[in-house]
Amino acid sequence: MRKRHLGSYAAVIVFAVPFLLPFYLLVRNALMSKRELGSLDWHWWPETISFQGFADAFGNEAVPLAHALWNSTLISAISAPLSTLLASMAGYALARIPVAASKPAFFFIIATMMVPGAATFIPTFVVVGSLGGVNTMWGLIVPGLFSAFAVLLFRGFYLRFPRELEDAGRVDGLGYLGLYGRLALPNSGALFASLGILSFIEHWNAFLWPLVIGQDPEFWTVQVALSTNLNQQAVNMPALFAGALVAILPLVALFLIAQRWIVRGVLLTGIKG
């Protein structure tokens, strides 16, 4: 019995090393000097810790990293709560308001899940472009606000919402909007938090759409800025890794703090992996 457990630990450690290695490389490379990182020999750790990479990453005028970080923060901070709220509104209405349009509206929303997201970036670009959304903040944000899958999850959640609570609210004179705003929404905090966090991650890490729609450096997100640096001719390596480290820190922190909610949300959804 004990032997078998030792075997499990040996195996799990063997797998854990390659999973942690890239994080170690990110930190190590960000803290090395250009000369040391460019040298031909392997170094486990920088001889002298250098923060020049961070200074270079933020000092590069061709790739405004600070501004890109600000854009990403803005986009994610607006998109995550707003898209989750929109999904919860629609989910509640579909689950709890008995009107004839309920079923057709449900199918109208769910049918969009059949179409794979990334394959629609050209049609969506055509529509957003014709509305003047290229190189605008709304062009970056608005098309990503509508998630049929989140509607599906919220609808399922509200279908199981206790009727007695609603009846009590109705006695107190609440209409459907009141029931949603005062009772249903405040009581869906757990689902709201987990889907909101997942949405934040998704928007923070998005690459294709920001690349397509925010072509002007003023509208670059942090992922587009990193990619631009990566594909430059002469790459300042410590700066590249310093920028990447800065870009993943908020999300890694979010992951470690809110892991319970994230796991819950992942189980509910199945967004980009």
Residues 110-139 that bind another protein (CB under 8 A): 112, 114-130
> For the chain, how far is it from start to end, CA to CA, in angstroms?
35
Contact window for another protein (CB under 8 A) among 51-59, 61-69, 143-151, 187-195: 143-151
Using CB under 8 A as the binding rule, the residues of this chain from 15 to 54 that contact another protein are 15-16, 18-23, 25-26, 29, 38-43
Which residue, 79, 219, 63, 218, is CA-closest to 143? 79
Residue showing tokens 């989910």: 91
Which residue, 8, 206, 241, 49, is CA-closest to 121? 206
Alpha helices in the chain (DSSP H): 2-30, 34-38, 52-59, 65-96, 102-110, 121-130, 137-141, 148-159, 163-171, 176-178, 189-205, 208-213, 222-230, 237-257, 259-268
Using CB under 8 A as the binding rule, the residues of this chain from 227 to 246 that contact another protein are 227, 230-231, 235, 237, 240-241, 244
**Taking the complex as a whole, how short is the minimal distance between the CB of residue 14 and another protein, in angstroms?**
10
Residues 6+ apart with CB under 8 A from 162: none
**Taking the complex as a whole, how short is the minimal distance between the CB of residue 212 and another protein, in angstroms?**
6
Number of residues that bind another protein (CB under 8 A): 97
Which of residues 165 and 230 has its CB atom nearest to another protein in the complex? 230
* Backbone φ and ψ of 5, nearest 5°: -70, -40
Contact window for another protein (CB under 8 A) among 7-15, 51-59, 73-81, 160-168: 7-15
Tell me how far apart the alpha carbons of residues 196 and 124 are, in angstroms, rounded to a whole number: 23
* DSSP label of 268: H
Q: For residue 212, state whether it binds another protein (rule: CB under 8 A).
A: yes
Residue from the set 49, 66, 159, 177 that interacts with another protein by CB under 8 A: 177
Residue from the set 57, 87, 153, 183 that interacts with another protein by CB under 8 A: 87
Using CB under 8 A as the binding rule, the residues of this chain from 182 to 211 that contact another protein are 201, 204-205, 207-208, 211
Residue from the set 132, 175, 186, 189 that interacts with another protein by CB under 8 A: 175
The CA–CA distances, whole Å, from 144 to 49, 54, 124, 218, 259 equal 40, 31, 10, 20, 24
**Taking the complex as a whole, how short is the minimal distance between the CB of residue 71 and another protein, in angstroms?**
14
Mask for 52-81, x = binds another protein (CB under 8 A): ------------------------------
Which of residues 55 and 230 has its CB atom nearest to another protein in the complex? 230
Residues 6+ apart with CB under 8 A from 40: none
Q: For residue 93, state whether it binds another protein (rule: CB under 8 A).
A: yes
Residue from the set 62, 171, 234, 267 that interacts with another protein by CB under 8 A: 267
- Give the tokens for residue 179: 């029931």
